[in-house]
Amino acid sequence: MTSAPTPAADTLLPSPAGGRALAGFLLSGFLLALLGAILPAWGYHRDPPDFVAVGNYFLSLALGIVSAAVLARRLMARFRSVFLLVFSCSLSCLALAYLAMVSPPASAWWRVAGMFVLGIGAGLLNTSLFQAISGNYQFDAPGTIIRGGIWYGVGCLAATLLVAGTFYAYTVPVILAAMAAVPAVFAIVYARSSCDWRPPPAQPGLRQALNDFRSPGAILFALVLFFQFGNEWSIAGWLPLFLIRRVGLSPKDALMILALYWLCLLGGRLGAVALLPHVRSGRLLAGSVASALFGCLILFSTATGFGAASGVFFLGAGFVSIYPLVAEAIGRRFPYYHPGFFSGIFSVALLGGLLAPATLGYAAQNWSVGVVIGIPLIGTCMVMLLVPLIWLESKVTGR
């Protein structure tokens, strides 16, 4: 009796569906960049500051994404992948339409509920997209992550520019209603698609996580993910409020510098695609960490718009290649790791990164908005210290 091939064996080669699915990360970036861009439009740059409410928004969004990871497994076991894509886009569209109806002066708790639903929609979308690109990821992990990151950056840039361009022209409900049209278009496109994808690779649970805690290499990699993921989310979510209150920029100018941040990430990813085959990963990673650290220092000390733009440039250039290179190294050392699924010890790191912007809200309420850059500055220093430890551990263990 001949046994059927396992899904893992099937996903060792890239698939055309996976290549087409990479464009879906444009919507993912659009949804996840929305909160950082819309906060000034909601008035959270004014006095008296209510940074606790902002922290609650980020916490609710993170909890929605984590809940989606649990819900996605059940949906993928019962429905085709196309259904999951259409459902996630439709849910995101409804969440944005709901947020348009509960904009200020409505109670912040109504928006907390809306951000939770938006997190579920974005989380389901990410899971289904990563399922679609599983074969491409196993075949070429860094290239797949960078290409997906390019589409993600385009989406983040589009969301930020949309809010910046309409900030003084339209009301917040009108802006959010216009943004709701984007996932609606993607839902229509996916509903007409005939593509279907294989089940995702089996992911380890609590037992594997406990085993990983005995491995110094796994702990070091998880800490790098924890700090780097938190750094990127914190800057993307809080940069406009920081620039308005700390540097004194107008909301529109602050949003344009946030757009510059996304543009630097996008351009950096395009450059990384060209550099990756010719530059050793270690040198590229060290240069990225140094650039990110320099950008944090400039932002922390600047009092002008030019200084803020310069800091964002170096920060974006530094952040761009750290995660793809670390994810590639983790994939070699820990074959079960997949960036789209919560797996083993690395789920703890990703969850911690999701919670970082929420923690900043509670910290900023007590110690002022300057902590927004202080915490990523510390996180970048930690990444700089952890990278040599990973290299040392690799030399000692011979891995």
Rounded alpha-carbon distances, angstroms, from residue 166 to 128, 160, 245:
31, 10, 21
Can you list the domains of the chain with their CATH numbers? Answer: 16-397 (1.20.1250.20)
Tens of pLDDT, residue by residue over 361-391, are 888 888 888 888 888 888 888 888 887 787 7
Residue 13 has pLDDT above 50, yes or no: no
Residue 262 vs residue 387, higher pLDDT: 262
Tens of pLDDT, residue by residue over 263-285, are 988 887 777 666 666 666 667 77
* pLDDT-based confidence at residue 9 (cuts at 50, 70, 90): very low
Residue 88 has pLDDT above 70, yes or no: yes
Closest CA to 92 of 47, 50, 140, 126: 126
d(CA 333, CA 21): 26
Average pLDDT of the segment spanning 40-45: 88
Contacts of 65 (CB under 8 A, 6+ apart): 119, 120, 122, 123, 126, 354
E strand segments, the chain: none
Structure tokens at 229: 């993921």
Structure tokens at 381: 């220093």
* pLDDT-based confidence at residue 289 (cuts at 50, 70, 90): confident
Q: Reduce the DSSP state of residue 6 to 3 states and report it.
A: coil
Q: What is the pLDDT of residue 16?
A: 47
d(CA 399, CA 395): 7
In a 10 Å sphere around its CB, with 0-12 CB exposed, 13-18 middle and 19+ buried, how is residue 135 labelled?
buried
Percent of the chain with pLDDT over 90: 25
d(CA 171, CA 85): 30
Closest CA to 270 of 152, 358, 397, 176: 152
